[in-house]
Amino acid sequence: MTTEQSVGIPANAGHEPELNKFFRAAIKTQASDLHLKVGQPPKLRIHGQLKNTTGELITKEIMEQLIFEILSPSQKESFLKSNTIDFAYEIGDEDRFRVNIFRQRGVISLAARRVNPDIPPLESLNLPPTLKKIADSRQGLVLAVGPSGCGKTTTIASMIDHINRTRSCHIVTIEDPIEYLFKDKKAIVSQREIGIDVQDFDQALRYLMRQDPDVVFVGEMRDAKTVAAGMIAAETGHLVFGTMHAAGAPQAVQRLLDLFPQSERALARQTLSLTIKAIINQILLPSVKEGVDRIPAVEVLLANPAVKKLISEEREADLPTVIRSCLNEGMQDLTDNLCELVKNGSIDPKEAYKCAPNVEELKMTLKGIRADTTGIL
- What is the chain's Cα-based Rg? 22
Q: Is residue 373 part of a domain?
A: no
More confident residue, 292 or 338: 338
Bridge partners of 112, per DSSP, are 34, 99
Count the domains in the chain.
2
State which of 115, 142, 159 marks the end of a domain.
115
Mean residue pLDDT across the chain: 91
Of the residues 99, 115, 131, the one at which a domain ends: 115
Query: Is the pLDDT at 185 greater than 80, yes or no?
Result: yes
The whole-number pLDDT of residue 2 equals: 32
pLDDT for res 43: 96
The residue-averaged pLDDT of 180-186 equals 93
Position 375 pLDDT exceeds 80: no
Buried b (16+ CB within 10 A) or exposed e, 124-141: ebbbbebbbebbeeeebb
Of 63, 95, 115, the last residue of a domain is 115
Q: What is the pLDDT of residue 61?
A: 96
| 94-107 tens-digit pLDDT | 788 989 999 999 99
Whether residues 336 and 229 share a domain: the answer is yes
Q: How many CB atoms lie under 10 A from the CB of residue 146?
A: 25
- Beta carbons within 10 angstroms of residue 214's beta carbon: 18
pLDDT of residue 213: 97
For the cut 50, the answer to whether the pLDDT of residue 236 exceeds it is: yes
Determine the structural domain holding residue 70 and report its residue range.
6-115
Kindly give the interhelix angle for 224-235 and 262-275, rounded to the nearest 10 degrees.
30
Sign, CA torsion 260/264/270/271 = negative
Is there a single domain that holds both residue 126 and residue 75? no
246 assigned to some structural domain: yes
What was the pLDDT predicted at 360?
Answer: 94
Neighbouring residues of 141: CB distance < 8 A, sequence distance ≥ 6: 230, 231, 234, 240, 242, 272, 275, 276, 277
Residue 156 lies in a domain: yes
Average pLDDT rounded to a whole number, residues 181-190: 95
Rounded to an integer, what distance in angstroms lies between the CA atom of residue 282 and that of residue 151? 8
Residues 213 and 93 in one domain: no
Task: For residue 375, tell me if it sits in a domain.
Answer: no
Helix (H) or strand (E) holding 73: helix 73-82
| 310 falls within a domain | yes
The pLDDT confidence band at residue 14, using thresholds 50, 70 and 90, is low
pLDDT at residue 138 is higher than 90 = yes
Confidence label for 292 from pLDDT (cuts 50, 70 and 90): confident
Give me the mean pLDDT over the 80-101 stretch.
88
Confidence grade of residue 1 (pLDDT, cut at 50, 70, 90): very low
263: pLDDT strictly greater than 80: yes
Q: Is the pTM of this model over 0.85?
A: no
pLDDT at 377: 53
Band of the pLDDT at 373, cuts 50, 70, 90? low
Highest mean pLDDT among 47-51, 102-106, 291-295: 102-106
Distance (Å, whole) CA 221 – CA 201: 10
